[in-house]
Structures are given as structure tokens and as C-alpha cells.
Chain A
Amino acid sequence: DVVLTQTPVAQPVTLGDQASISCRSSQSLVHSNGNTYLEWYLQKPGQSPQLLIYKVSNRFSGVPDRFIGSGSGSDFTLKISRVEPEDLGVYYCFQATHDPYTFGAGTKLELK
């Protein structure tokens, strides 16, 4: 199975700061069709995960432009500029290129 390694495990931030989360894959996430199916989710306590980014860098409907996804191959990053209170929670990367689809272990974005 593809292993997604997220760092850091926890990211303490001050509101208004920029935050950056890394997701490294145990193998390339480029599909045979040329697409890279790497997504980013935010899960707040007691809630379902909410999709932020799909196919590496595309923001889902309604997602603010302070969320920026980048990367290629097996190395991906989510940047959040100007962290706001509603951005706090656990962030997961997810790959849907290789069966079985897998999630990273999560990165908790929390206040300093």
C-alpha cells in the first residue's frame, strides 16, 4: 500500500501566520492517465472531513484562496496563508492514484 508521511505531526500557529504541511508518498502518485490524485482535507472535531484541494493544486468549491496546494510526483505541500480561527483542526492528505486509496496520519493545526 502507498504510505503517505505527513510532517509535522502538529503545527502550532499564531492567527495571521502562514502554515505549511508536507505530504510525502512512498511512490509516485502520477496515474497512468497523467493525473495526480492527491487531495487535502481538513477535519474539525466531531465533523466530517472537508475537501480543500484536489489533484494537487485545485481548490474545491468555496475554499478560500489562502489555501494553496503544490507539488509533484511524491512530494506535496499545503500552505495556508494568514491562518484564521476556522482553519484549526486536523489536516489529511489522501491519494486516490493507487489501490487501495490511503490517507496520511494527519497534521494538527493548533494555536500556540
Chain B
Amino acid sequence: QVKLQQSGAELVKPGASVKLSCKTSGYTFSTSYMSWFKQIPGQSIEWIGMIYAGDGGTGYNQKFKGKATLTVDTSSSTAYMDLSSLTTEDSAVYFCARLGYWGQGVMVTVSS
């Protein structure tokens, strides 16, 4: 069955960067899209962007351009999201998702 397994919680300092991973199984990764989402606890969800694993082509929500960078490693069927120049406003749960299947989410806390 389809599984998306995300990396563990992160505590990072303001100004730093963090790389989140989403390891997949149960489907053909190299011909699929992967989307990423942000959810501040107690709030709604925002779409960050998506990547096509076949060629690494990306599409971003304008709001997250310069903040998020999406990549994939087809050899390990893993998608990645780099978040840069982190501020407290980036503290949130981040999800990867593909066609109705979601990862469990990873909490990123930005604090000095």
C-alpha cells in the first residue's frame, strides 16, 4: 500500500535552514507528483508547492518562493523540502502528500 514516511520533529534556531524528508513506498515514485503543505497548529492549511519526480519540475505558491525548495531522489523514492532563513513564523507542521495519501507530518519549531 502507499506510504509516506516523514522525518522527525526539528528544533532550529532563527536564521538557520532545515531539510525535511518524505520517504515513499507502494507506488511508482518516478512518475508522480508530490505536494507539500504547511499548517500552523489551530489554523487551516497552506499549499507550499509541488514537484514532479520524473524531471524535478516544480511549481510553488508565490508566498513560499525563496523560502521552500523542493527536490527528489528517485533512487530512494524520497522527496525533500528545504526551508531557509527560518523565523518564528515558519514554526508549523509540514506535510507531504500525493493523490490523497499524506505523510504523518513533521513539527518544525523555530526558537532561539
Contacts and interface: CB of A to CB of B under 8 A. Distances in A.
Contact of B100 (A60, A101, A104): A60
A80 B108 CA distance: 34
A105 interface: yes
Interface stretch (B7-15, B44-52, B67-75): B44-52
- Chain B, interface residues (CB within 8 Å), range: 10 to 19
Interface string A79-111: 000000000000010100001111111100000
B100 A51 contact: yes
Given A48-B95, A100-B61, A100-B63, A92 B100 contact: no
Q: Among the interface residues B47, B104, B105, which one has the most CB atoms of the partner chain A within 10 A? A: B47
Contacts of B61: 99-101
Given A48-B105, A51-B100, A104 B47 contact: no
A40 to B, nearest CB: 11
B63 to A, nearest CB: 7
Nearest to B63: A100
A104 to B, nearest CB: 7
Contacts of B62: 100
Nearest to B102: A48
A49 B45 contact: yes
